[in-house]
Amino acid sequence: MEECVVQFAEYLEKGKGSTKNTILSYERDLKNFHQFLIQAGISKPQKINVTNIRAYLLHLEKKGRAASTISRNLASLRSFFQFLYKEGYIQEDPTLDVVAPKIEKKLPEILTMEEVGLLLAQPDPKELKGIRDKAMLEVLYATGIRVSELVNLQTDQIHMALGYLRCSYGGKERIIPLGSKAIEALQKYIENARLIMIRDIKEPALFVNCSGTAMTRQGFWKIVKVYAQKASIQKTITPHMLRHSFAAHLVENGADLQSVQEMLGHSDISTTQVYAKLQKNRIKEVYKKAHPRA
C-alpha cells in the first residue's frame, strides 16, 4: 500500500496541482489508516472492503476524534480509492457506500472593525519590522488572502499603479483589489524597509524576515499574536481570523457573495455563504438589544 500512496501523492502534485500542505495532509491520513490495516493483518489495497473502512471510522470515533476530523479522513480515503480504481489497482471503490458523519458547522469567529483598527495600529512606523508588519497586516485585511498566499507573495505579483495583486492557490490564479491603506503601507515598506532587510538583491519574496529571506507562516503567526496582546484584544486571534473578518465586513457593508467568493478563491459558493449567516446573526443580536419588546 505504501507504494500506492507514493503514486497518489505524485498524482496530486503533478496531475491536480495540489499544494504541499494538502499533499502532506492526505499522506498523514493515509499513513494512519495504513497503521490500522497492519494491525488488522491487511497489507494490500485489493483486500480492503467497506467493512474495513467503517471499522476505521469507528476506531477514530472511539479515540475521541471530532466529526470534522473523521469526515476529513473519509474524504482522504475516498480520493485515494478513486485514484486506485481509475488506475486499475482495484475492481471497486470500498468507500462508495460509506456515509460521512454529520458535522455541526460553527460560524467563524471574526474581529469587529474597531478591533481590526486597533490591531493595525500596533506596528511601530519608526522601525523596519514595524513598517513591514504594518504592510503585511494591511494587505491581509485588504485582500482576505490566505496566510500561505501572503508569505509566498513575490514582488512581481504586486501592481501598485493599478491597485491589485495576483495570487495563486492550488494552481488557480486570481486578481484581488488592494485598498488605498494597503497600497500606502506597501509603498512605505518597499521604499523604506525591504531593500534594507534583504541580503540578496535578487530575493523574489515580497515580505522578508530579519535574515533577509521569505517570511514563514509560523513567523507571521507570532507577529500577529504579539500585536493582539499589545492591542489588548481578548479574542484568540489567528492570521486566518483576518481573512474571515475581511469577508464578513465586506458582506456586512453590502458586497455580493459571488464577488466575495471570487476574491477568497472559494471553489464553491456554499463555503462563502457562512458570512451571510454571520450577518443574519448580527442583525438578530442588534434587534434583541435594541427592540423594547424583543
Main-chain phi, psi angles of 158, to 5 degrees: -100, 130
pLDDT value for 289: 66
Mean pLDDT (the chain) is: 89
Domains and CATH numbers, the chain: 2-86 (1.10.150.130), 113-288 (1.10.443.10)
Strands (DSSP E) found in 136-234: 158-159, 164-169, 172-177
HSE-CB of 157 using CA atoms within 13 angstroms: 19
DSSP H or E segment with residue 275: helix 274-290
Judge whether residue 127 has pLDDT over 50: yes
Q: Taking residues 280-284, what's their average pLDDT?
A: 60
pLDDT value for 105: 66
Residue 236: closest CA among 103, 115, 131, 104: 115
Q: How many Å apart are CA 229 and CA 37, to the nearest integer?
A: 46
Residue type, position 2, single letter: E
Judge whether residue 277 has pLDDT over 80: no
Helices (H) and strands (E) in the chain — how many of each? 14, 3
Q: How many Å apart are CA 154 and CA 269, to the nearest integer?
A: 28
Looking at per-residue pLDDT, the higher value among 288 and 180 belongs to 180
pTM: 0.63
Instruction: Pull the grid cell for residue 236.
Output: 484568540
- The 8-class DSSP code of residue 206 comes to S
Judge whether residue 287 has pLDDT over 50: no
Judge whether residue 283 has pLDDT over 60: no
Kindly indicate the confidence band of residue 216, based on its pLDDT and cuts at 50, 70 and 90: very high
Q: How open is the CA angle 17-21-24, to the nearest 5 degrees?
A: 95
pLDDT value for 279: 72
Judge whether residue 264 has pLDDT over 70: yes
Q: Taking residues 149-157, what's their average pLDDT?
A: 95
Kindly indicate the confidence band of residue 290, based on its pLDDT and cuts at 50, 70 and 90: low
Q: Taking residues 193-205, what's their average pLDDT?
A: 94
Residue 142: closest CA among 270, 51, 280, 263: 263
pLDDT value for 117: 95
Judge whether residue 129 has pLDDT over 50: yes
- Return the sign of the alpha-carbon dihedral for residues 270, 274, 97, 2: positive
pLDDT value for 257: 87
Q: How many Å apart are CA 215 and CA 150, to the nearest integer?
A: 9
Judge whether residue 286 has pLDDT over 60: no
Of 71-85, 138-152, 255-269, least confident by mean pLDDT is: 255-269
